[in-house]
Amino acid sequence: MSILYEDAAELLRRIYSRRIHTPAILDAATHFPASERFAATWPGLRDEALRLKQDLSSVPRFHELMPQQAPISANDGRDWRLFVVKAYGVLVPRNAARCPALTRLLATSPQVLSAALSFLGPWKHVPEHRGPFRGVIRYYLGLSVPPAADGLPGAALVIDSTEHRVGDGQWLLWDDTFAHEVRNNSDDVRIALLLDVRRKAMPPDLEILSRILIAAAGIAVRLRRIA
């Protein structure tokens, strides 16, 4: 299954990369103006995430939600857990009820297709990988980021060979089809909000293709009863 997934993802990356030539790090004012609204409410989002952290064992590991992601989620025996509130346009009611502040933001942000709280265990390494297609872009907001030994934020994102340290209330908007990896270089859990955002201003044929792929992914979410 993972081989088929990677083959399909590589085909999609080639199709989109021929027509879309934006850099790895994207301008939020152009691609996701709502980014500042999410960042402005980060303390409330952090409080919701910290309540979930109190019962972290009930939050599934990434590869338990998507088995094909086991090579990057279950690679080192350390935890990477995702609390999914929305997946490819499908709200998860039981999880949304536990995150009312985040759910209110999502209700006024139709460009956001997916939203999850990401809990990266101490010293967890997510090895280098690439997202499947450029029809969506990734917003990463630090909510509870423990410091590393050097005093900088302990979560290091390496995107297209450049390291980024994103602390509490700080964020990045980026294209996850570029090679990237994540390390939690600390003794505590790193919590971040991850949003998948519909890319704007694509060529019409890619816009249609994206809508088809996103709709198909939403159907898969319902069939797998994630929502």
* pLDDT tens-digit series, residues 65-114: 888 888 888 899 899 999 999 999 999 999 999 999 999 999 999 999 99
**What architecture is domain 2-223?**
Sandwich (2.60)
pLDDT tens readout for residues 141-175 = 999 999 999 999 999 999 999 999 999 999 999 99
> What value does the mean pLDDT of the chain take?
93
CA angle in degrees (0–180, nearest 5) for 195-45-96? 70
CA 75 to chain centre: 18
**What is the pLDDT averaged over residues 2-25?**
86
Query: Which of the four pLDDT bands, split at 50, 70 and 90, describes residue 1?
Result: very low
- CA atoms of 152 and 77, how far apart (whole Å): 25
Check whether 2 has a pLDDT greater than 90: no
The rounded distance, in Å, linking the Cα atoms of 87 and 85 is: 7
Q: What is the rounded radius of gyration, in angstroms, for the C-alpha atoms of the chain?
A: 17
Mean pLDDT of 128-137: 92
Asked if residue 47 has pLDDT above 80, the reply is yes
- pLDDT exceeds cutoff 70 at 30: yes
**Among the listed residues 49, 57, 24, the one whose alpha carbon sits nearest the alpha carbon of residue 161:** 24
Q: Considering the entire predicted model, what is its pTM?
A: 0.93
Confidence class for position 220, pLDDT limits 50, 70, 90: confident
Neighbours of 12 (CB within 10 A): 19
